[in-house]
Structure 1
Amino acid sequence: MSTQSELALENKVMDQLERVGYERAAIHNNESLEENFRRILNDRHADKLNGQLLTDSEFKRLMIQINNKSVFDSARILRDKFVLKRDDETELYLEFFDSKNWCRNTFQVTNQISVEDKYKGRYDVTVLINGLPVVQIELKRRGVAINEAFNQVERYRRHNFTGLFRYTQLFVLSNYNDTRYYANNDKEIYKSHMFYWTDEENNRLTNVHELIDSFMLPHHLAKMIGRYMVVNETDKNLIVLRPYQMYATEALIKRALETNNNGYVWHTTGSGKTLTSFKASQLLAQEKEIKKVIFLVDRKDLDTQTQKEFDKFEPGSVDYTDNTKHLLEQLEDKSNPMIITTIQKMANAVKSNAPVMHQYKEDKVIFVIDECHRSQFGDMHRMIRRHFQNSQYFGFTGTPRFDDNKSQDGRSTADIFDKCLHHYLIKDAIRDGNVLGFSIEYINTFKDKATSSGEEYVKAIDTNEIWMADDRIDMVARHIYSIHDNKTKDRQYSSIFATQSIDTAMKYYDKFKEINHEEGSKPLNIATIFSYQANEDLREGDVKEHAKDRLARVIDDYNENYNTNFSLETYDQYFDDISKRMKKGIPGQKIDLLIVVNMFLTGFDSKVLNTLYVDKYLKHHDLIQAYSRTNRVEKQTKPYGNIVSYRDLKKETDEAIQLFSDTEDTDVVLSKSFEEYLEDFQAGMNELHTVVSTPQDAYHLEDEEEIKAFIVSYRQTARALLKLKTFEDFDFTKTLLGVSEQGYEDYRSAYLDYYDKYIRQKDSEKVSVINDIDFEIEVIRNDKVNVSYILNLIGNIDLENKKKQTEERKQIKLMLERADDENLRLKADLIQEFLDEVLPKLDRNANIEKVYLDFEEDKKLQEFKDFAETEQYPVEQLQSLYTEYDYSGLLYRKDIEKGVTGGLLKKRKKVNKVYQFVKDVSRKFGLVE
């Protein structure tokens, strides 16, 4: 079977690049590369040179100053103005790349440049802008894994790519059907840094010709280098935006410059929203008509991580201080067009009525809001919007609010920020390898004998008595101990335990301490953190210990364990120290298990966190946010985020994943106008007045139907009022609303009295069913069990302990029976045969993974032989077809026909059989992603 050679592919790529606008250049060595660079430099600066071309000494001096620098320094030189002192001592300002006017750059392409650096090298295709080799394209023939191209580039980076090749900004790799790009760097580059290019709807463009027609178009490539790469000053490296980040930034800038409307970007948690929002903010700040770009976060979100991320990109942009004075100074400083601060401090700046704030009543200001699903700002938001009268608001969120999960005041994200400008969903990010998927286990910890008594009976149960029962707490804690090492790869990774309340968190904390001190235990490094009120009241029935006192006790334990010296007075430093340890996988210093209530379940990123234990009710955005703490990409030992839920959140999980993986509602705007909400409120008040004329009458209602009518009508007004308060036009006056604020508060008091009465009545009817419950651990089901997950479990089977091995094999077989993954079902029989026939006979020092792969290879070859014999088809041809299809995904019937004899009908049937066989075998034995 003939295949396209690398040379043929290279020639086609060269021809296509020429067609889309590149000039083909005959450059085949370093000398001609420098001559070409010098010629273009002279041509581009002809107006400044006044006929005096660069002399040999001037060009030599220039090359000494710009040639063979580090990749990072070369990237800075490429983007800056360069001052060259000429032979006559005059200064000449040179520009190597025009980032604003793409058409003023010179675009060329050449191939087969030969170099002799440490070793000889010959580069496939080189794209030059203004004579500098900014993009290297490495090609492999079809069927060759893309990793081979990557490895070759890595060799070139280590031993070649000197001189002007240090200006290489991007690499493009392709084996025709698999095409990716990534940024150059001085440091090690991982394969996970290779990205696919996509269209605006996140559809991959994997074919090299599709990529050239989109990504490699001269104006687009210049835009990628000039606008959508970040020169990271802190880490001294280059970052290139992924396609969804670029599309979102483009859409946001277009909306800001062409309209006065707001918008939001829906990019799933963990996909790099900070970088996207920074780049959008940076580019907007360069527009003359925009006087300031202000990146707003809630106070609790302006943590060390956020500060460091922004300082990497724009040193000095973060408002670190606690006082408003520094923010006012930043607002006055016209040389600093971008600020990151908190909404609380910005509200204080508005209230200060400082002279600098007056200009911003009319100046165009862009507000970029982080985590905008939580940005229901109320009074502060309204105050800021009233002051900045010529402002626009752009939000970023991984979990928007929709009708299903609207905020407490009844609004969706679209109500506040209007249109969704771009979406990149969790299913897209998992597909692209930008975040990991989840392995979810739902654990039942009791059998409820009461459920057969009816739903109303179950609702009356005091569930706290169940969830916090001593036996259950003990069993869950011990279960976590039993699975923790396996979940965290022998504690290579950290975990978080999300609990329902401070009481629950402390009960678990004390139980883990107890287990840690038991003989034969392998102690876990545990810690906990939660917020507390300075003057907390203890409610009847509570544990007689203030949250403040509990936290002080926990901090003392922490100090002893980690040799630190924190206290309640240094709570923020305690928080930061926990954050650092949760991000560093240093043995002996990291935290194995962090017990939390709400903290660290949103906005916290750690690559070495891979497991979340859950013993609290979660749904919608809260669930996805919490789960997403575990799915940051790290290395191959972290194939997904582990979720172990000790409550049956299967329904909630499915609903949340469906909600945040669906694009149908992204552009739906649920909000009404101020006038419409005002009509709703007034209608509610009219209905309320038909039930009771005055607030006092509400206290004298006796008929339950009348009481119900009062509660329903009041609730209607309350919902409308919550929405009304979000508008700048809102003022609580009788003229506007038809009721004074005090009059409305009187109605509210009557409503609360009825609420308290009926809630207490329900509470008194609660019954204890603690004796009706048998506590036990039972895995209900395991979702997202795929081939990688099962093979990972097989690889960790204990070959020394036969009893444990038997139990582990049994559990894996059970998972195979319950698994929904289609690819896993294809391998199920194969895996079961391995577990039954091969694994029990292995030596204790055997490499299970290698043995399984050899076993699978033998089985694959046997299937080839059996099929070839039965269908009388050449086995070598069959293997060749399989190899081509497995790598490229392409299978041509004309290739299959080469091994088929007989009449037309017979040929057609056999071709169809071979075609289906190759596809089935590829799915069964193909590489596991």
Structure 2
Amino acid sequence: MNYQTIAQSNESTVVAEYFRETERKGSYESEAELEREFIAILEKQGYEYKKIHNQEKLKQNLRESLERLNEFTFSDSEWRDFYTHIIANKQETHKEKTKKFQQVSSFTLDLENGEKKNIKLIDKKNIYRNSLQVIHQYEANGGQNRYDVSILVNGLPLVHVELKKRGVALKNAFTQMQGYAKKSFCVDDGLFDYVQIFVISNGTESKYYSNTIKSSRNGKNTDTFEFTNYWADAKNQKILDLVDFAKTFFARHSILNILTRYCIFTSDENLLVMRPYQIVATERILEKIRIAHQNKSYGTKANGGYIWHTTGSGKTLTSFRAATLTQELKHIAKVLFVVDRKDLDYQTMKEYENFQKGAANATKNTTKLKEHLENPDAKIIVTTIQKLAIFIEKNPKHEIYQKEVVIIFDECHRSLGNVYKQITQAFKKYYFFGFTGTPIFAENCDKSKPQDTTENKFGERLHEYTIIDAISDKNVLPFRVEYTNTTQAKKDIKDKDVRAIDEEKALLDERRIKAITDYIIKNFARLTKNEENYAYAKNLAGESTQNKSGHKGFNSILACSSIKAAKKYYQAFKEQDHSLKIATIFSYSQSEGIDGLEEENNENIDGLDQNSKEFLDNAIKDYNAMFGSNFDTSGFQEYYKDLAKNMKERKIDILIVANMFLTGFDAKTLNTLWVDKNLKYHGLIQAFSRTNRILDSVKTHGNIVCFRNLEQDLNDALKLFGNKNASAIVLLRKYEDYLNGYVDDEGKIYEGYKSLIEKLKGFPLGTSIDLEEEKREFIKLFGSILKLENLLNSFEEFQKSDHITERDFQDYQGMYLNLHDEMKEKREKGEQKEEINEELVFEVELVKQEEVGIDYILNLIYSYKHSELTAPGIREIIDSIINSSTQLRSRKELIEGFVKKYQSNPNFKWQEHVKQQREEEFQNIIKANNLQEKKAYAFMSKAFKSGEISFLGTEFPDILPKMSFFQDGRKEVKAKVEQDLQEFFDKFYEIYKSDFTKQESAKDTAAEV
């Protein structure tokens, strides 16, 4: 192939509009046939097919490819040095290799003749100098793993593709890929640790995602199928079929642009791969700047435009990449990113710093803004509208006004006031761009200022990605809207002024406020899935227990009509009997906009009346008592930041607000908005969208509970920001549809919960499921029930006990988990044919959110007299509960051991039992694997302190028995110890987190009294 330099084209990374060129095949297509077809398409697009199936050939091809790219021939010793220390450094993890690939442009090699040579892994400036090759059926880990298809860029595997035959669940390809990424990519010389992007496809549906794997134990749930992405054209039409995906995503210029321009390795070591609509927006901004500069048409509205990307779709990342790519243009002096509030200034800087440390420059005050504008090295500046306006007033003849400056406005649907005129008159060579999730149109603008539409201010719409697109792509969640009519004010008062006078007393009536707080307290657990677990509350002895389930649940915001209302609600909650953590925050704002949202003021409480200041101070004292902090209203900004942090970490159950936190605040743990406030158009969509960030498979939608009749306002907003049919996509269906089943507009039949439960009875309890076909049928059926029940639990009308008893459901769940463990064990032993159960997806995450924990089973044990624990009926109850819980079944032996000791000594304590068992089992692991005892304790102590066990770095190898690096069986020993320690950690961490130190004796000592 010819790899000579080709002039870089201006082809867009994302195709403008894609039309399928071929008809679908009608015949059956195996996975092997799908693979061959995929490779053939890549070859037609300029990829070179290489027969590489092992590491030696991969290594040799890598050397040849890098020599060709760098126009340099390595000597054997030079190659050995470069390969060993730079490419295949044994001390580096996949994150360190990702950082190296993304952030280091070239590496210095000391040559044999004493000279130095810069070696590139990839040419980011001229992407067409890079070679693209495709390999398949590569064998890793001594042949234990065989990979489907890998894309080599200059010899390095940078994209990995996992294929399944048509009809197989796509999630299974994801699960298999995660297994490779965690266990086998790092083996041998770890070259597959360089993979940046994963692609999964079953032929019919294709998705992509980054190589980042986060630990869910630390509260980060991105290691989940929900964070995979669709590819699309510029009109947001998804490109699903593998053939079409190969022709677009894998077009040479597209995949190379994605790898070199649209991957961001963040400061907390996560790789973000941009979505197609983000790439389109970025490139259209760059194209606008290019044309305007070329024609010298800067300084006019026509050279700019706005991006309409719905709330929650990642506008900050898009603006960041647009800013960083723009700053590389030599003719651009500055890129100003302008926000309208100090908290957003802080939040944006924090996000920019996370995307790339030192990429942007913060402006604490106008003096700092002036310094940055005069510093040629400060190319990207984050500031507020207010600071920019003050700078213009104080510096009417500054030299920056004569330079080409790109000004990007965040949330440009908000009012710019007179600042717009100030900026456009001061800066002579500006490029104006705005980002918004909810543009201002003629329909939703302030009728006294009809000129204040987004288009009038910023120019044409450069790209749109609406709430309809985002929900269809599963990038944000739909809403379930619930109207409660028990507390609504009169419906016959239409006139706004009359309503303001006549309804205020009714709306703020203490009886109404109390009725609503009662409702919220009663329904909080149902909606946030933060329920004290009553799943098995009534046992045979008639005992009740109240213990948390495995899932931590979500939190909520109560949006009030005024500060006066917020104060009344906060006081009402204080007077109620509940265990919820409740906080409030408010500040002075001058007026309510047409959308029902006041202008937020998060800097101070100036303007508040004395009573409100005192009330807020007392509320902050309550907050301090809750969290051990020391805030007051004089440090309002710091209180705001800490409150926002605790909301994001789900440490607050309900946040009561009037004019804050309803725009610009993102918390994935927030899933419910209680609304006692009139909202319209962009204000309504902005407020509702606080609840619809994706998190995991448990969070399926955002809950909106309205204490006012906003139905028409919601319909108007959806028509404006979606289309006339938006409700069918944006809102969940009614309760009866999920219960009884329904047929959608396209004629697809969806079975209801009642029908599924009836089918469950076809698998009688007490009988085994022996046939493979019946096992598959049961797994599919119970998975469907779990998903539907997770959704139905949000409806007040749903009563699970009306359809199946808790005990029966618990036993069925135990059967489900038994089959899960059975198939997992067969896969690990290689006893299960690969294709047999590929269409099966186990919904274990949904099981976990409903199940009971250790506390529940202990309380149940304690509730019986120790002599009763041998009774068959009692033991059946305990065994059934243990078997139905993923958390308990892995600790079954531990619990049974405790029951035996408790029977002989009713004063014996669980914690003492766990402590003894933990020590005994760890000693067994040390002896069985001949580990270095002192270092092993230090290693595990660190794991228990951090909440995560890591086998990366040098600490883990240090605990292994002393073996030669090349000794046979070394890998097997290492793998076994990893597995033993991981299982040990998973078993004991959640139930006994005290210091991990060696105990003097692991034997039973005198029982605690």
- Alpha-carbon distance in 2 for matches of 1:849, 1:613: 36
CA displacement 1:97-135 (0-9 Å, x = unmatched): 111212111111121222226x72221111111111111
CA displacement 1:556-599 (0-9 Å, x = unmatched): 222223222111111111111110111013xxxx1111110010
What is the SS of the residue equivalent to 1:462? helix
On the 8 A contact 1:180/1:196 being kept in 2, the answer is: yes
Please name the residue that 1:112 is paired with. 137
- Alpha-carbon distance in 2 for matches of 1:789, 1:474: 30
Please name the residue that 2:807 is paired with. 845
Is 1:268 the counterpart of 2:302 in the alignment? no
- Bigger mean CA offset, 286-295 vs 108-117: 108-117
On the 8 A contact 1:477/1:511 being kept in 2, the answer is: yes
Shift in Å, 1:301: 4.1
Distance 1:853-1:637 versus aligned 2 partners, 3 A rule: farther
On the 8 A contact 2:204/2:241 being kept in 1, the answer is: yes
Structure 1 letter corresponding to 2:587: S
Shift in Å, 1:490: 2.0
- Alpha-carbon distance in 2 for matches of 1:167, 1:831: 45
Distance 1:846-1:584 versus aligned 2 partners, 3 A rule: farther
Shift in Å, 1:884: 10
- Alpha-carbon distance in 1 for matches of 2:320, 2:500: 50
Alignment match of 1:389 (pick from 424, 428, 443): 428
Distance 1:631-1:537 versus aligned 2 partners, 3 A rule: closer
Which ranges of 4 or more aligned residues in structure 1 deviate by more than 6 Å? 447-450, 453-458, 787-791, 816-825, 831-838, 851-854, 883-886
Is 1:432 the counterpart of 2:459 in the alignment? no
Alignment match of 1:126 (pick from 134, 150, 154): 150
What is the SS of the residue equivalent to 1:523? coil
- Alpha-carbon distance in 1 for matches of 2:395, 2:420: 16
Alignment match of 2:643 (pick from 578, 593, 617): 578
- Bigger mean CA offset, 492-501 vs 826-835: 826-835
Distance 1:62-1:841 versus aligned 2 partners, 3 A rule: closer
Distance 1:448-1:208 versus aligned 2 partners, 3 A rule: closer
1:121-520 matches, cutoff 5 A: 121-162=145-186, 163-185=190-212, 187=214, 189-232=223-266, 234-259=267-292, 260=298, 261-302=303-344, 304-353=346-395, 358-374=398-414, 376-407=415-446, 409-410=449-450, 411-446=452-487, 451=492, 462-490=502-530, 492-516=553-577
Shift in Å, 1:306: 2.2
- Alpha-carbon distance in 2 for matches of 1:637, 1:379: 46
Shift in Å, 1:15: 0.9
1:507-586 matches, cutoff 5 A: 507-516=568-577, 522-532=578-588, 546-585=611-650
Please name the residue that 1:646 is paired with. 707
1:47-58 matches, cutoff 5 A: 49=72, 53-58=73-78
Please name the residue that 2:755 is paired with. 830
- Alpha-carbon distance in 1 for matches of 2:335, 2:100: 27
CA displacement 1:860-893 (0-9 Å, x = unmatched): xxxxxxxxxxxxxxxxxxxx9xx9999xxxxxxx
What is the SS of the residue equivalent to 1:137? strand
Unaligned regions of 5+ residues in structure 1, if any?
517-521, 539-544, 666-781, 792-811, 855-879, 887-929
On the 8 A contact 1:296/1:370 being kept in 2, the answer is: yes
Is 1:29 the counterpart of 2:54 in the alignment? yes
On the 8 A contact 2:334/2:379 being kept in 1, the answer is: yes
Shift in Å, 1:787: 8.6
Is 1:71 the counterpart of 2:94 in the alignment? yes
Please name the residue that 1:602 is paired with. 663
Alignment match of 1:5 (pick from 30, 33, 45): 30
Structure 2 letter corresponding to 1:657: L
- Alpha-carbon distance in 2 for matches of 1:352, 1:338: 21
Distance 1:420-1:459 versus aligned 2 partners, 3 A rule: same
Alignment match of 2:716 (pick from 641, 644, 655): 655
Shift in Å, 1:548: 1.3
- Alpha-carbon distance in 2 for matches of 1:598, 1:838: 38
On the 8 A contact 1:132/1:164 being kept in 2, the answer is: yes
- Alpha-carbon distance in 2 for matches of 1:535, 1:639: 40
On the 8 A contact 2:344/2:664 being kept in 1, the answer is: no
Shift in Å, 1:428: 1.0
Please name the residue that 1:749 is paired with. none
Shift in Å, 1:77: 3.0
What is the SS of the residue equivalent to 1:444? coil
Shift in Å, 1:551: 1.2
Distance 1:299-1:530 versus aligned 2 partners, 3 A rule: same
Distance 1:310-1:28 versus aligned 2 partners, 3 A rule: same
What is the SS of the residue equivalent to 1:211? helix
Structure 2 letter corresponding to 1:195: N
Structure 2 letter corresponding to 1:70: T
Please name the residue that 1:903 is paired with. none
TM-score, L = length of structure 2: 0.65
RMSD (Å) for aligned C-alpha atoms? 3.5
Distance 1:546-1:130 versus aligned 2 partners, 3 A rule: same
Shift in Å, 1:822: 8.4
On the 8 A contact 1:304/1:576 being kept in 2, the answer is: no
CA displacement 1:529-556 (0-9 Å, x = unmatched): 1004867587xxxxxx622122112112
Please name the residue that 2:681 is paired with. 620
What is the SS of the residue equivalent to 1:180? strand
Q: Give the length in aligned residue pairs.
A: 696
Structure with higher Rg: it is: 1
Unaligned regions of 5+ residues in structure 2, if any?
1-25, 216-222, 293-297, 532-552, 590-604, 760-796, 817-834, 842-1009
What is the SS of the residue equivalent to 1:96? coil
Structure 1 letter corresponding to 2:29: Q
- Taking every aligned residue pair, what percent have the same amino acid on both sides? 38
What is the SS of the residue equivalent to 2:413? helix
Distance 1:213-1:313 versus aligned 2 partners, 3 A rule: same
Shift in Å, 1:156: 1.4
Shift in Å, 1:842: 4.2
Shift in Å, 1:235: 1.2
Shift in Å, 1:337: 1.6
Structure 2 letter corresponding to 1:549: E
CA displacement 1:663-682 (0-9 Å, x = unmatched): 999xxxxxxxxxxxxxxxxx
On the 8 A contact 1:785/1:820 being kept in 2, the answer is: no
CA displacement 1:702-756 (0-9 Å, x = unmatched): xxxxxxxxxxxxxxxxxxxxxxxxxxxxxxxxxxxxxxxxxxxxxxxxxxxxxxx
On the 8 A contact 1:98/1:105 being kept in 2, the answer is: yes
On the 8 A contact 2:742/2:749 being kept in 1, the answer is: no
What is the SS of the residue equivalent to 2:486? strand
On the 8 A contact 1:497/1:596 being kept in 2, the answer is: yes
Q: Which has the higher helix share?
A: 1
CA displacement 1:590-634 (0-9 Å, x = unmatched): 111111001000000001111000001000000000000011111
Shift in Å, 1:63: 0.7
Shift in Å, 1:640: 0.6
Structure 2 letter corresponding to 1:847: F
Structure 1 letter corresponding to 2:377: S
- Alpha-carbon distance in 1 for matches of 2:53, 2:64: 16
What is the SS of the residue equivalent to 1:621? helix
- Alpha-carbon distance in 2 for matches of 1:446, 1:663: 30
- Alpha-carbon distance in 2 for matches of 1:506, 1:456: 23
On the 8 A contact 1:536/1:546 being kept in 2, the answer is: no
Is 1:87 the counterpart of 2:112 in the alignment? yes
1:904-923 matches, cutoff 5 A: none
